[in-house]
Structure 1
Amino acid sequence: MKNIVIFASGTGSNAENIIHYFKNNNSKSVVAVFSNNSNAKVVEKAKKLNIETVVFNKDELYGDVVLSKLNDFKPDLVVLAGFLFKFPEHIIAAFPNKTINIHPALLPKYGGKGMYGNHVHQAVLDNKETETGITIHFVNEHYDEGGIIFQKSVSIIDCTTFEEVSMKVHQLEQEYFPKVIDKLL
């Protein structure tokens, strides 16, 4: 059995989608959801789906606590799905080429510190881009600079608000993120 551990900070729509995708899979499954936010909807969703949850604070993330708990789950893949902290180098080193992230733009454009969620979508609109998309990439010590695994673009010529851009990007995330995880494993 291949074990997937998801890190998320917010609503958990991608985490929930990934959990459902692998729910009846006999060779791969989501074994835990880690979150830095005890009030995050992702924690509630994971519990409802009978997925173990681990909530931690910043000190535990950058210390040894989170890595120790993560090792208990023996992950074959660590998936960042809307996780807002910079991922610690010592955890990346413990899981080389086994930690991935999804970014709501076509990297290397619109990546880096502070570029997440609607900040990205608004920047894309402000720069009058005609397309945007998703990038699934390996995580390294720099924000959004790890090797690109998969990209998919979508036209946003008809979009006038970041909410419209967000909806199109979210559709790509829901369709492709679980499939790319499946293929990687």
Structure 2
Amino acid sequence: MKNRIVVMASGEGTTFQEIYNACSHNRINAEVVALISDRLDSGAVTRAGKMNISVIHYSLSNKYMIIEEIKKLKPDLIALAGFLKILPEEFIDNFPGKIVNTHPSLLPCFGGKGMYGINVQKAVLKSGTKVTGCTIHLVDRDVDHGPIIAQETVPVIPSDTPESIQERVHSVELGLYIDAISSMLNFDYTIVENRVKFKN
């Protein structure tokens, strides 16, 4: 029996597409059962239409209705895929240990309020660090803080721009996210010092 994934996205939907493709090609033993988006004119919503996946419109005013709709879907995992709204505590508390996110830095560095998109890589470049990367983590009440599932490093080189760092991080981020989602669905785990530790 396949697992059930709900994806939340705000933008073009490239990560959403990768998750869908991974499910279709059995890299993830799951099916995407719904897309939640705060922007009905987004590329992600357009992609969902082509995939014949139902779309739920997200706004703070209907958060309780959305929580109930998601519960009806019985997801095994909720994957944030470029979702730019900060989830309210009530939402997170209803799905403990089931919400995963990807962030384009090595958390806890360059995370938190305002640290999304190109802003992250501008901060990376300004800091002078020689190494950055991406992080897959469980979502808790604090922004970019939950237990870390996986990380991968990429170098920062002298000729870099924020855009070139972003491209290099993105090239490893999607594969890492797919592997992390698969592991979360296939293996038992414990939380040790804010890290997800999978059981053999």
- Look up the match of 1:52: 54
Q: Does the 8 Å CA contact 2:13/2:44 hold for their aligned counterparts?
A: yes
Instruction: Give the alignment partner of residue 30 of structure 1, picking from 29, 32, 43.
Output: 32
Q: Which runs of 5+ in 2 are unaligned?
A: 186-200
- Look up the match of 1:81: 81
Q: Does the 8 Å CA contact 2:29/2:182 hold for their aligned counterparts?
A: no
Deviations 1:47-89 (A, max 9, x none): 112222112223113xx11101111211100111111111122
Aligned amino acid, residue 132 of structure 1: T
- Look up the match of 2:95: 95
Between 155-164 and 98-107, report the one with greater CA deviation.
155-164
- Look up the match of 1:109: 109
Between 160-169 and 44-53, report the one with greater CA deviation.
44-53
Q: Does the 8 Å CA contact 1:36/1:58 hold for their aligned counterparts?
A: no
Distance in 2 (CA, whole Å) between partners of 1:129 and 1:12 is 30
Decide whether aligned partners of structure 1 residues 102 and 27 sit closer, same or farther in structure 2, where only a CA change above 3 A counts.
Answer: closer
Distance in 2 (CA, whole Å) between partners of 1:29 and 1:70 is 15
Distance in 1 (CA, whole Å) between partners of 2:36 and 2:89 is 17
Q: Does the 8 Å CA contact 1:159/1:165 hold for their aligned counterparts?
A: no
- Look up the match of 1:151: 151
Distance in 2 (CA, whole Å) between partners of 1:56 and 1:86 is 12
Deviation at 1:113, TM superposition (A): 0.7
Aligned amino acid, residue 149 of structure 2: I
Distance in 2 (CA, whole Å) between partners of 1:133 and 1:100 is 17
Q: Does the 8 Å CA contact 1:135/1:149 hold for their aligned counterparts?
A: yes
Deviation at 1:160, TM superposition (A): 2.2
- Look up the match of 1:10: 11
Between 91-100 and 155-164, report the one with greater CA deviation.
155-164
- Look up the match of 1:42: 44
Decide whether aligned partners of structure 1 residues 159 and 4 sit closer, same or farther in structure 2, where only a CA change above 3 A counts.
Answer: farther
Aligned amino acid, residue 5 of structure 2: I
Aligned amino acid, residue 126 of structure 1: K
Q: Does the 8 Å CA contact 2:135/2:150 hold for their aligned counterparts?
A: yes
Distance in 1 (CA, whole Å) between partners of 2:173 and 2:85 is 20
- Look up the match of 1:180: 180
* Structure 1: 4+ residue segments shifted above 3 A: 24-27
Q: How high is the TM-score relative to the length of structure 1?
A: 0.94
Q: Does the 8 Å CA contact 2:108/2:144 hold for their aligned counterparts?
A: yes
Aligned residue pairs, count = 183
Between 126-135 and 50-59, report the one with greater CA deviation.
50-59
Aligned amino acid, residue 36 of structure 1: D
Q: Does the 8 Å CA contact 1:38/1:55 hold for their aligned counterparts?
A: yes
Distance in 2 (CA, whole Å) between partners of 1:81 and 1:27 is 18
Q: How high is the TM-score relative to the length of structure 2?
A: 0.87
